[in-house]
C-alpha cells in the first residue's frame, strides 16, 4: 500500500541522515501511535469523502504537530509539497476536525483585492501571487480538510484536501497555500497521488534534517 511505502521511506531516509536532528526525529516517531476508532469516526462524520489513504495514515500516526503520546511529545516534519525541501507536520484527527469550523473563504481574507493579489490562472509562477483556477475562492476553508501545517507553525504554508473543486478540478485534489507572496495551487489530483509524488521525489523535504 502507498501509506506503508510512504512511512517506510520516511524512516529509511531519516536513517540515512547521520545528524542529531534526524536521529531524534526517527526516534521520536517510534512513540507515535494511531488515532482511536472514535476519533476516526468523528473524522468520517465531518468529512464523509475523506480519502482512505489519509485514514490509513492517521490510523498509524495520529499527528506529528507537537503531539503528545503518553510521556513523549512528537514534533516531526513528515510531509512535503511542491516547495523543494520545505517540510510539514501531519495534523492529528482532533486538529483536522476542529479546523472544520473555519467559515472564512479565500475571498473573505482578501476582499476586494482578491483579483489583484491572487490573479486566477494555472501554471503560474508560485513566486508571484496566484490562485489556481480549479480552487473555489468562495468556499469556506473548513469545507476543505486541513491535514498539514508547515515548519513555521503553519504560518507560511498549509495543505488541504479539496472536495468542492471548480470545473477542471478533481474531487479530493490536494491544495497548497503558500504565504508571501500568497498563492493557492493544486499540487495533486488525490491524496494518494500526493503521497506518491513525495515518494517519487525521494522525500526531498527531509533535506531539512540534513542541513547543518
Given pLDDT bands bounded at 50, 70 and 90, which one contains residue 190?
very high
DSSP character at residue 34: P
pLDDT in tens, 17-40: 988 888 899 999 999 999 999 999
Given pLDDT bands bounded at 50, 70 and 90, which one contains residue 62?
very high
pLDDT of amino acid 212: 53
Contacts with 11 (C-beta within 8 Å, 6 or more apart), sequence order = 26, 29
pLDDT of amino acid 160: 98
Q: How confident is the model over 176-202, as a mean pLDDT?
A: 95
Q: How confident is the model over 73-91, as a mean pLDDT?
A: 93
> Percent of the chain at pLDDT above 90?
79
Sign, Cα dihedral of 27, 201, 62, 55: negative
pLDDT of amino acid 126: 59
What's this model's pTM, rounded to 2 decimal places? Answer: 0.95
Of 54, 55, 51, 7, nearest to 32 by C-alpha is: 7
Residue 139 or 181, more confident: 139
Mapped to the 3 state alphabet, what secondary structure does 79-116 carry? ECCCCCCCCEEECCHHHHHHHCCCCCCHHHHHHHHHHH
Q: Report the mean per-residue pLDDT for the chain.
A: 93
Judge whether 133 and 121 are in contact, CB under 8 Å.
Answer: yes
Q: Which CATH architecture has domain 2-210?
A: 3-Layer(aba) Sandwich (3.40)
Beta strand spans in the chain (E)? 67-69, 72-74, 88-90, 120-121, 130-132, 145-150, 157-162, 173-178, 183-188
pLDDT in tens, 109-144: 999 999 988 998 877 665 678 899 999 999 999 999
pLDDT of amino acid 122: 78
User: Rounded to whole angstroms, how far apart are CA atoms 62 and 81?
Assistant: 20
Amino acid at each position: 500500500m502507498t501509506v506503508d511505502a510512504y512511512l517506510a521511506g520516511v524512516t529509511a531516509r531519516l536513517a540515512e541522515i547521520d545528524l542529531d536532528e534526524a536521529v531524534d526525529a526517527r526516534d521520536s516517531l517510534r512513540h507515535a501511535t494511531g488515532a482511536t476508532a472514535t476519533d476516526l469516526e468523528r473524522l468520517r462524520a465531518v468529512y464523509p469523502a475523506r480519502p482512505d489513504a489519509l485514514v490509513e495514515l492517521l490510523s498509524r500516526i495520529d499527528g506529528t504537530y507537537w503531539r503528545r503520546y503518553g510521556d513523549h511529545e512528537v514534533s516531526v516534519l513528515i510531509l512535503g509539497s511542491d516547495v523543494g525541501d520545505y517540510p510539514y507536520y501531519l495534523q492529528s484527527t482532533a486538529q483536522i476536525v476542529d479546523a472544520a469550523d473555519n467559515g472564512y473563504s479565500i475571498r473573505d481574507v482578501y476582499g476586494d483585492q482578491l483579483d489583484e493579489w491572487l490573479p486566477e490562472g494555472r501554471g503560474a509562477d508560485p513566486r508571484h501571487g496566484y490562485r489556481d483556477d480549479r480552487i473555489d475562492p468562495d468556499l469556506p476553508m473548513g469545507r476543505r480538510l486541513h491535514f498539514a501545517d508547515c515548519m513555521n507553525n503553519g504560518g507560511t504554508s498549509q495543505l488541504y484536501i479539496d472536495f468542492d473543486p471548480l470545473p477542471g478540478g478533481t474531487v479530493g485534489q490536494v491544495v497548497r497555500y503558500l504565504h508571501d507572496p500568497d498563492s493557492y495551487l493544486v499540487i495533486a489530483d488525490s491524496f494518494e497521488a500526493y503521497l506518491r509524488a513525495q515518494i517519487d521525489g525521494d522525500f526531498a523535504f527531509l533535506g531539512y534534517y540534513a542541513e547543518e
